[in-house]
């Protein structure tokens, strides 16, 4: 498994030193970027280092990738976040201490923490293996404090042990950009050959590597005129890349929409063959305009993907060990989280912004 951050400054690479089974005493206070209220800038604060509960581990955060969902939480599109909140749900770091009931993760282990922070295990969805739909789920960086900080706690049952080469910024984008993209991809019919990706960024550039490995052909649709993103998609192997307003160069078997733009559902239906599948891969999307039934007719289907299961995470991380992924990361120091969020909001980032400690 090789992960490369194309433009990762070596001086910012976080070195993780192993101290297996040796609990490290954390400081009392840490730096964190905190959301005090929705629709406001994050505040750089010194707050207490969290103390792990019996089921939690304390993680020294090495890197936390920024996801578009963070923007939706900060901008108020997703309602009722925990406040004040430390956002961030693509955390990579070293376990430095653990709760009294944690036995399966050693101190010194590198772990990843994703969006899925807790599920009840008891509701109808959990019992059917659909923990991503759990009625009582709690999500990292939304209901639970996340990784825009020097330290974070997480329930050990929702941590993914990572190999050391996933340290620093390299593995962080896998934990949501990778997982969301992968769950969306697994919703496609296996026989789908020509796939459209609408909104080619963090998720798209990881997913395309899986798709190409499976012999698929990918067309990438970007914001109109975003030649930089189109070039980025071609560099990652897109057979075609162009404006989202342009017709697909040929009819697609399936489409995955990552951009939070409802109009793209209509566009994707126009671009797909009869029997085609449209997957909406984002947690938030603007309203889908009304559309002529003729576009849906022909047994086309539209489906959303919600959250992820731990099985998705295990499958993607196992795949990551098989394939030689590359991730394009843009490192920012923790205190520049607002600038990184602005760059993502404005479409200035090809790849994934990652906060580095
Ligand atoms: Zn449940
Ligand atoms: Zn995410």
Rounded CA gap, 65 and 206, in Å? 14
Rounded to the nearest angstrom, the distance between the alpha carbon of 110 and the centre of ligand 2 is 20
Q: Which residues surround ligand 1, an ion (CB under 5 A)?
A: 119-120, 123, 126, 134
Rounded to the nearest angstrom, the distance between the alpha carbon of 125 and the centre of ligand 1 is 6
Per-chain mean pLDDT for the chain:
92
Q: How far is residue 341 from each of residues 8, 40, 75, 191, 325, measured CA to CA in Å? A: 18, 12, 11, 37, 25
Could you give phi then psi for residue 106, rounded to 5 degrees? Answer: -85, 150
| Contact indicator for 315, 136 with CB cutoff of 8 Å | no
What pLDDT is attached to residue 325? 84
Domains of the chain: 10-174+326-356 (3.90.180.10), 188-304 (3.40.50.720)
Rounded to the nearest angstrom, the distance between the alpha carbon of 292 and the centre of ligand 2 is 32
Worst-scoring range by mean pLDDT, 14-23, 153-162, 228-237, 253-262?
14-23
pLDDT in tens, 161-189: 998 877 767 789 999 989 988 999 999 99
| Contact indicator for 120, 70 with CB cutoff of 8 Å | no
Ligand closest to Cα of 120 equals 1
What pLDDT is attached to residue 111? 96
pLDDT in tens, 65-106: 999 999 999 999 999 999 999 999 999 999 999 999 999 999
What pLDDT is attached to residue 93? 97
3-class SS at 112? strand
Ligand closest to Cα of 90 equals 2
Q: Is the pLDDT of residue 326 over 90?
A: no
pLDDT band for position 5 (cuts 50, 70, 90): very low
Rounded to the nearest angstrom, the distance between the alpha carbon of 310 and the centre of ligand 1 is 13
Rounded to the nearest angstrom, the distance between the alpha carbon of 274 and the centre of ligand 2 is 31
Ligand closest to Cα of 121 equals 1
What pLDDT is attached to residue 8? 36
| Contact indicator for 139, 147 with CB cutoff of 8 Å | no
Rounded CA gap, 140 and 95, in Å? 17
Is the model more confident about 282 or about 246?
A: 246
Mean pLDDT over 249-267 rounds to: 97
Q: Among 354, 301, 303, 296, which residue's Cα sits nearest to residue 330?
A: 354
Rounded to the nearest angstrom, the distance between the alpha carbon of 130 and the centre of ligand 1 is 8
Ligand closest to Cα of 172 equals 2
Rounded to the nearest angstrom, the distance between the alpha carbon of 25 and the centre of ligand 2 is 30
Rounded to the nearest angstrom, the distance between the alpha carbon of 309 and the centre of ligand 1 is 11
pLDDT band for position 24 (cuts 50, 70, 90): confident
Q: Which residues surround ligand 2, an ion (CB under 5 A)?
A: 67, 69, 176
């Amino acid at each position: 498994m090789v992960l490369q951050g194309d433009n990762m400054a070596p001086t910012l690479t976080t070195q993780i030193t192993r101290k297996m089974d040796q609990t490290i005493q954390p400081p009392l206070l840490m730096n964190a970027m905190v959301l005090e209220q929705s629709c406001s800038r994050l505040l750089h604060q010194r707050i207490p280092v969290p103390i792990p509960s019996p089921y939690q581990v304390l993680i020294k955060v090495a890197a936390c990738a920024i996801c578009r969902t963070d923007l939706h939480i900060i901008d108020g599109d997703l309602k009722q976040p925990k406040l004040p909140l430390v956002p961030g749900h693509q955390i990579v770091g070293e376990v430095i201490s653990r709760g009294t009931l944690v036995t399966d993760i050693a101190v010194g282990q590198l772990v990843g923490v994703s969006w899925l922070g807790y599920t009840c295990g008891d509701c109808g969805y959990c019992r059917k293996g659909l923990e991503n739909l759990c009625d009582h789920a709690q999500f990292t960086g939304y209901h639970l404090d996340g990784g825009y900080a020097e330290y974070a706690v997480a329930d050990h049952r929702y941590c993914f042990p990572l190999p050391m080469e996933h340290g620093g910024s390299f593995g962080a984008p896998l934990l949501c950009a990778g997982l969301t993209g992968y769950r969306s991809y697994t919703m496609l019919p296996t026989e789908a050959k020509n796939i459209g990706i609408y909104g080619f960024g963090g998720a798209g550039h990881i997913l395309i590597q899986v798709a190409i490995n499976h012999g698929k052909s990918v067309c990438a649709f970007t914001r109109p005129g975003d030649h930089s993103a189109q070039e980025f998609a071609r560099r990652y192997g897109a057979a075609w890349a162009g404006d989202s307003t342009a017709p697909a160069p040929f009819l697609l078997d399936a489409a995955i929409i990552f951009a939070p733009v409802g109009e793209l559902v209509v566009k994707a239906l126009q671009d797909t063959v009869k029997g085609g599948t449209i997957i909406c891969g984002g947690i938030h999307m603007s309203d889908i305009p009304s559309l002529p039934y003729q576009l849906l007719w022909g047994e086309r289907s539209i489906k959303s993907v919600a959250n992820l299961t731990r099985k998705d995470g295990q499958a993607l991380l196992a795949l990551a060990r098989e394939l030689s992924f590359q991730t394009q990361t843009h490192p920012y120091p923790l205190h520049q989280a607002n600038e990184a969020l602005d760059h993502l909001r404005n479409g200035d980032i090809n790849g994934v912004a990652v906060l580095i400690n």
